[in-house]
Structure 1
Amino acid sequence: MFGRSQRAVFKPSVYQPGKRQRRMPRWLGVLLVGMGLGAGGVLFLQANYGPTRLTAEQSEQLQSELNAANVDRQRLQTQLSEATAQRDAIESTRDKATTELNEARTRLQRAEQALAIFQNLIPPDPRGTDIGVRAGSFSRAPGKLSYQVLLMKDSKGNEFKGSLKLAVQGTYRNGRSGTVELDPIEVTLGRYQVAQGTAEMPEGFTPNAVRIQVVDPSDRQQAMRLYYVRG
């Protein structure tokens, strides 16, 4: 009865709840799991479907090829500029040539008109033949005879082909008369033709007159005139 009383120690019952342990919130776990899955998916896509990562050597090679491509592009740009300049120069030359051609055609047309007027003003051949000797000019020098002969065809049909013969009449130093026949000159006469040149004369021969004959291929005479030689 006087002994020390011992207080009974309280022991919780196994059925009684003790101190609650703190757990990670459920939403935080879901978030972390989602982040992990997302990162893994990104890595998977990059590894299987994304662009391949280049090594240092491949990067240097790619940079070298890019530099070469830039050099080629600059070279092609320079060539294009030169080709454009050449094209512009050619077009300018072509335009200038076209202008000059048009001017030449205009001058030719005017010359043809003037020639037609002169043709109408030139006296006809007195014989009145279709092919006529319209004009002749002869001048002598020591040992030489210069000549110009204008032949014309009145009709506008086919061209005439034949020969022009010049027979030079004159005297020698001893007073003897003579005739020097020059080599025939081929004639192709459409509307008109001018025969001109210089012929050598025999030594001591002085030309006084020239007989002009136009003959066809069968040697038939188509025109004839006589001109005196100027001193």
Structure 2
Amino acid sequence: MFGRSKPVVLESYGHRRKRGRPPRWLVLLLSGVAVGVAGVLVVQERYLPPRLSAHESAQLRSAYDSTEAERKRLQQALRNAEQKLASTTSQNKTLQDELATSRTRIERLSDDLATTVAALPPDPRGGTVEVRAGRFTVRGGALVYDVVLARERAGSKPTTGVMQLQVLGSSAKSPQATVALTPVPVSITSHEVVRGSQPLPEGFKPREATVQVLDRPAGRALGMRVMLVK
């Protein structure tokens, strides 16, 4: 009764744990990890896009690089097109300014020409169309002419017809001969300067030219004047 007492061992959970068995919390932790991994795998297999292999990833990267290069090329082409458009717009503006300047000069020259024609002496023969002035020269076997025609009563509708030149001169066969040149179409509103040249027969030396304005070839005369050939 009063002998040596034995030590008393207290179990924390009310019973003795078997040796070698893992703790319950570790089992629960590992089970949770396993369930989580399984859930991730199920979601990836059923709901997420399939994972790419190394070869497919390389192909995708190559396609991306190619698309990016094409995008940069198109962007550069767009910049070049915008620069060309800006340059073309600037050139068009310059051309428009030059065109406006040319029109102003043409209008001014037309006014100056009208003033000069009005200051020329009148055609002594008169007529519907007056031959106000003319210059005739010989160059390279051709008759070069500048003839100023005017209408005494100019209207909005032009007078149309032909200018017929008959040249009086001499040749090796005849001391006096007349050559009729090809009729030249004319259209006269208030005034018209007719310039040109026509070939003469070989060896022909002109002295004077008769200018006839007709309503049509071999038609009614609208005006006439005789001028010297220099």
Q: CA deviation at 1:25?
A: 10
Aligned with residue 15 of structure 2, among 16, 21, 30: 21
1:115-136 Cα shifts (integer Å, max 9, x gaps): 2222322233233322111112
The one-letter code sitting in structure 2 at the alignment partner of 1:212 is V
Query: Matched residue of 2:63: which SS?
Result: helix
Aligned with residue 76 of structure 1, among 64, 74, 77: 74
1:41-80 Cα shifts (integer Å, max 9, x gaps): 3433233212322122222222222222233223323333
Query: Matched residue of 1:103: which SS?
Result: helix
Residue aligning to 1:92: 90
Query: Matched residue of 1:124: which SS?
Result: coil
Instruction: Say how many residue pairs are matched.
Output: 211
Residue aligning to 2:211: 212
Show structure 1 runs of 5+ residues with no match: 1-17
Residue aligning to 1:197: 197
1:121-158 Cα shifts (integer Å, max 9, x gaps): 22332333221111122346897654322112342243
Query: Matched residue of 1:47: which SS?
Result: helix
Matched, 1:168 2:162: no
* CA-based RMSD: 3.7
Show structure 2 runs of 5+ residues with no match: 1-9
Query: Matched residue of 2:154: which SS?
Result: coil
Q: CA deviation at 1:33?
A: 6.5
Residue aligning to 2:224: 224
Of 176-185 and 107-116, deviating more is 176-185
Check conservation: 2:212, 2:223, Cα contact below 8 A.
yes
1:77-122 Cα shifts (integer Å, max 9, x gaps): 3333333333233223222222221221221222222222223222
Identity of aligned residues (%): 31
Q: CA deviation at 1:26?
A: 9.3
The TM-score with structure 1 as length reference comes to 0.70
Report the Cα distance in structure 1 between the residues aligned to 2:55 and 2:211, rounded to whole angstroms: 98
Residue aligning to 2:5: none
Report the Cα distance in structure 2 between the residues aligned to 1:223 and 1:36, rounded to whole angstroms: 119
Report the Cα distance in structure 2 between the residues aligned to 1:142 and 1:90, rounded to whole angstroms: 46
Superposition pairs of residues 1-231 of structure 1, within 5 angstroms? 20-21=14-15, 37-139=35-137, 145-153=143-151, 154-170=153-169, 178-191=176-189, 192-197=192-197, 199-200=199-200, 203=203, 205=205, 207=207, 209-217=208-216, 219-230=219-230
